Structures are given as C-alpha cells and as structure tokens.
Amino acid sequence: DSGVTQTPKHLITATGQRVTLRCSPRSGDLSVYWYQQSLDQGLQFLIQYYNGEERAKGNILERFSAQQFPDLHSELNLSSLELGDSALYFCASSPKLAVYNEQFFGPGTRLTVL
Amino acid sequence: GENVEQHPSTLSVQEGDSAVIKCTYSDSASNYFPWYKQELGKRPQLIIDIRSNVGEKKDQRIAVTLNKTAKHFSLHITETQPEDSAVYFCAAKAVDYGQNFVFGPGTRLSVLP
C-alpha cells in the first residue's frame, strides 16, 4: 500500500456523461500527478498540482480538468465522455516539487465508457 | 519536449536467465531515470532509479546503467524468477520544476518456469 488512495475503484458510465475521480495523496505529500493508461498502453501524464496550484500540464484534453483542494486531495473531472476515454486513471503523489522525489502511485480508477 | 523509447516491447526468458530492457531519451536536460514495475491490474511501483551523475546502480538482482553521452539507460535483471513477470516502464525527468516524468511505452516481461 503506497498510502495514496483513489476513489472510486471502478466507474461505468455512458458517452456524453461527466465523472469525477478523487485522489488523496500520502500524508505530507504536496504534489499530485494524474496519469491516463489506456489498455496495454504506457502512462500518459495529464497534469500536476503542487500545494493547490497547477504546476505542469501534459496531454490533457480540454474536456478534462483538475484541481487540488486546501486539504491537498485532488479531483480529476472528465466531461463529454467518449468511448476512447475508457482507461485506468492513476494519481501519484510526491513530497515536494520534483528534484529526485519518487512518485507513489495510487491503485487507480478504472473508467469504462459505454 | 522529451521522448522516451523502450525496447523490446515484449521479452520472454527462462527462469534463472538474465533480462535486459533498454530505453533512450531525447532531452539532454533529463537527469533522473526511474524504472517502474507494474503487475497486471496493479499500480506502478518504483524498483530502481538512477541520477545522471551516476553510471550504474545495483540493488540485489536489479541494476540500471546510464550512458549520458548516448542518451540511453538500461535495466538488468539477473537470475529471473516467475514473480519478475510484469510490465516494466522506464521514465525520464529533467529536474526542472516545469518538467515531469515522461514514460516509455513499457516492456512486458514473461519469465518461463
């Protein structure tokens, strides 16, 4: 157990819908990262937050947005869902901004769009 | 931006043999290179990492080598065991607050008993 929690574990929804994925980082970690992993694919970086502020953006679609709250948990919002959005979404946290900090991954949320 | 390539995409070895996975990166500013192991349906877990000021690092049966000039780094697993079967991802990161990890596409390692 990495100490990073993600809810829900599984999510099944229909095209056009909107969902929210939640992540709680390890205690004391200020940085949160979101990744998308499609079937048999690598990890695609979506976005990073540090202490409530957006720090870096990857290949995140305009239909997707995220935020980090004062208690440091983060939410990833996916709207106007398409079949291709079906994937495993991982959140990771690390103690500080970058340098050589390891990222600790949560268990992931499996999103299925029907 | 950074681009990380990884080879091979699949690798099968006999139990007890060695396995080698290679990655190349494009951004000479990258200076931190972690390797993650992901078992089926599980989260990625860091198994070893190397910084750019080091050429090699070992941890029991696992080692990583880095060639900064050629911009490639490799994972070596010796005396493979069935529990080493998983997908392995390499990643590269520039230690710059605006940069983030770029992952390779992964190598599916199968250790045959």
Residues B29, B56: contact at Cβ < 8 Å?
no
CB burial class (10 A; 0-12, 13-18, 19+) of residue B10? exposed
Closest CA relative to residue B45, chosen from A107, A33, A42: A107
Is the N-terminal amide bond of A8 cis, ω within 30° of 0?
Answer: yes
Question: What are the chain A neighbours of B100 within 8 Å (beta carbons)?
Answer: 33, 45, 48, 56, 58
Pull the structure tokens for residue A113: 């769009």
Nearest to B95 among A41, A99, A107 (CB): A99
- Which backbone phi and psi does B84 adopt, to 5 degrees? -80, -10
Give dist(CA B63, CA B41) in Å, integer: 25
Residues 6+ apart with CB under 8 A from B28: B68, B71
Side by side, the strands of the sheet bearing B62-67 are B4-7, B19-25, B72-77, B62-67, B56-59
Nearest to A45 among B49, B97, B100 (CB): B100
Give dist(CA B45, CA B51) in Å, integer: 18
CA B14, A39, B34, B39 torsion-angle sign: negative
pLDDT of B28 reads 87
For chain B, the average pLDDT equals 92
pLDDT of B96 reads 59
Residues of chain B with pLDDT > 70, as a percent, come to: 96
User: How close, in Å, is residue A42 to chain B by CA atoms?
Assistant: 5
Nearest to A98 among B45, B95, B103 (CB): B95
A108 interface with B at CB cutoff 8 Å: yes
Q: Which residues of B touch A (CB under 8 A)?
A: 32, 34, 42-46, 49, 51, 89, 93, 95-106
Is B104 in Cβ contact with A45 (below 8 Å)? no
pLDDT of A41 reads 77
pLDDT of B99 reads 60
Question: What are the chain A neighbours of B46 within 8 Å (beta carbons)?
Answer: 102-103
pLDDT of A1 reads 81
Is B105 in Cβ contact with A42 (below 8 Å)? yes
Residues of chain B with pLDDT > 90, as a percent, come to: 76
Q: How far is CA A84 from CA A37, A44, B72, B87, in A?
A: 11, 14, 32, 22
pLDDT of A99 reads 61
Query: What's the whole-number mean pLDDT along residues B10-28?
Result: 96
Question: Is the per-residue pLDDT at B43 higher than 90?
Answer: yes
With bands split at pLDDT 50, 70 and 90, how would you rate the model's confidence at B16? very high
Give the count of Cβ contacts less than 8 A between chain A and B: 52
A103 interface with B at CB cutoff 8 Å: yes
- Per-residue pLDDT for chain A (114 aa), expressed as one digit of tens each? 889 999 999 999 999 999 999 999 999 899 999 999 988 778 998 999 999 999 888 889 999 999 999 999 999 999 999 999 999 999 999 887 656 678 899 999 999 999
Question: Is the per-residue pLDDT at B26 higher than 80?
Answer: yes
